[in-house]
Amino acid sequence: MNNRRLTVVVPCGGRGSRLGLPFAKELLPTPDGRVVLDAVLDLIHGLNVAVVLVVAADRAATIEHVHTTYPDLPVAAVRQRAHAPGLAGAVRSALPWTGRYTIVLLPDQFLLTPACDHPVEQAAKLLATEPACFLAAWEDDPVRIAADGALAVQAGEQTSPRIRRLADKPDRPEAGLFNAVWFGYGFRDTAADEVLAQLELATEHRLPDGRFAAGPLFDAPVVIVPGFLDLGTWPAVNRLWSRVDGTCA
């Protein structure tokens, strides 16, 4: 385990089969002349964090890019264990190298406008008192909700918005129950096992309401981020290249 309080885990072992690229999807070029993984790592600039890349055997180019582009960033590459598939398995593979607080950021998510309010830092502050949290964007398109990690979020007047329901790629008839899609999530070391178990069950559409209500994800606070693209499909990639850059006020 590293001795930093905050670790950012970036799972880079996915195949990206929907794109059919001859290289890892986290190295997809972006209009600013960089790659999509750089946009993710921008979110931790200036923070005292350690980064764990969870990789497959074919990710030498990803590791080289990070080491070359961010020579001062404390980063380790960890092989995803064969018996731990999927996103939850990738994060489990990283746990021996994480610290007290862990935030998971996917390597193919691209914010449509810059995050001006340091969402990763906000999430880390929440984990000082909360077992888990999410980073998410408001969403009212049922098609998008049905294709993504969906959340039902209740906004609070004095406190952070809170999760009331979650699902992974819910059926279209259920999409109206949700109003946000998640961009990343975080957890304390003491909640890691149950957070990952709940997310894995949600992915398999086997998370009982009772277990969700009794676990760390129910009522978890949410850091709201700008809208984002999941660059796992060509329509999203095409939208990225046709967008107009936003700026922070």
**Quick one: three-class SS letters along 179-204?**
CEEEEEEEEEHHHHHHHHHHHHHHHC
Question: Mean per-residue pLDDT for 164-172?
Answer: 94
79, 114, 149: which is the final residue of a domain?
A: 114
pTM, to two decimals: 0.94
pLDDT at residue 1 tops 90: no
The DSSP-derived string for 135-166 is: EEEE---HHHHHTSEEEEEE--SSS--EEEEE
170 with 102, same domain: the answer is: no
d(CA 137, CA 147): 14
Using DSSP bridges, classify how beta strands 109-111 and 228-230 pair: parallel, antiparallel or unpaired. antiparallel
Per-residue pLDDT, 4: 67
Per-residue pLDDT, 83: 84
Question: Mean per-residue pLDDT for 146-174?
Answer: 92
Confidence of residue 157 (pLDDT cuts 50, 70, 90): confident
Question: Mean per-residue pLDDT for 212-241?
Answer: 94
Per-residue pLDDT, 18: 74
Question: Mean per-residue pLDDT for 106-111?
Answer: 94
114, 142, 167: which is the final residue of a domain?
A: 114
- CATH number (domain holding residue 10): 3.90.550.10
106 with 49, same domain: the answer is: yes
In tens, the pLDDT along 83-93 reads: 888 899 999 99
Q: How many domains does the chain have?
A: 2
As given in the structure block, the two tokens for residue 67 are 């080491």
Per-residue pLDDT, 244: 56
CA distances from 215 to 9, 209, 210 (A): 22, 10, 9
151: in domain: yes
Per-residue pLDDT, 116: 79
Question: Mean per-residue pLDDT for 150-173?
Answer: 92
65 with 135, same domain: the answer is: no
d(CA 188, CA 125): 11
CA distances from 188 to 17, 90, 174, 225 (A): 32, 17, 30, 21
| Average pLDDT value over all residues in the chain | 92
CA distances from 248 to 111, 154, 229 (A): 12, 26, 18
98 with 136, same domain: the answer is: no
5 with 36, same domain: the answer is: yes
231: in domain: no
11 with 101, same domain: the answer is: yes
Per-residue pLDDT, 15: 65
Question: Mean per-residue pLDDT for 17-33?
Answer: 88
94 with 21, same domain: the answer is: yes
Residue 106 CB coordination number (10 Å): 24
Q: Are 163 and 151 in contact (CB under 8 A)?
A: yes
Burial-class residue 52 by CB neighbours within 10 Å (0-12, 13-18, 19+): buried
Range of the domain at 149: 131-225
97 with 155, same domain: the answer is: no
pLDDT at residue 246 tops 60: no
97 with 141, same domain: the answer is: no
d(CA 49, CA 46): 9
63 with 15, same domain: the answer is: yes
Confidence of residue 66 (pLDDT cuts 50, 70, 90): very high
Confidence of residue 2 (pLDDT cuts 50, 70, 90): low
Amino acid at 189: D
Residue that wins the pLDDT comparison between 126 and 158? 126
d(CA 46, CA 191): 26
203 with 104, same domain: the answer is: no
182: in domain: yes
State the chain's maximal CA–CA distance in angstroms: 48
Question: Mean per-residue pLDDT for 181-191?
Answer: 98
Q: What is the rounded (10 degree) CA torsion for 217, 218, 223, 226?
A: 90
21 with 109, same domain: the answer is: yes
Confidence of residue 245 (pLDDT cuts 50, 70, 90): low
d(CA 163, CA 149): 13
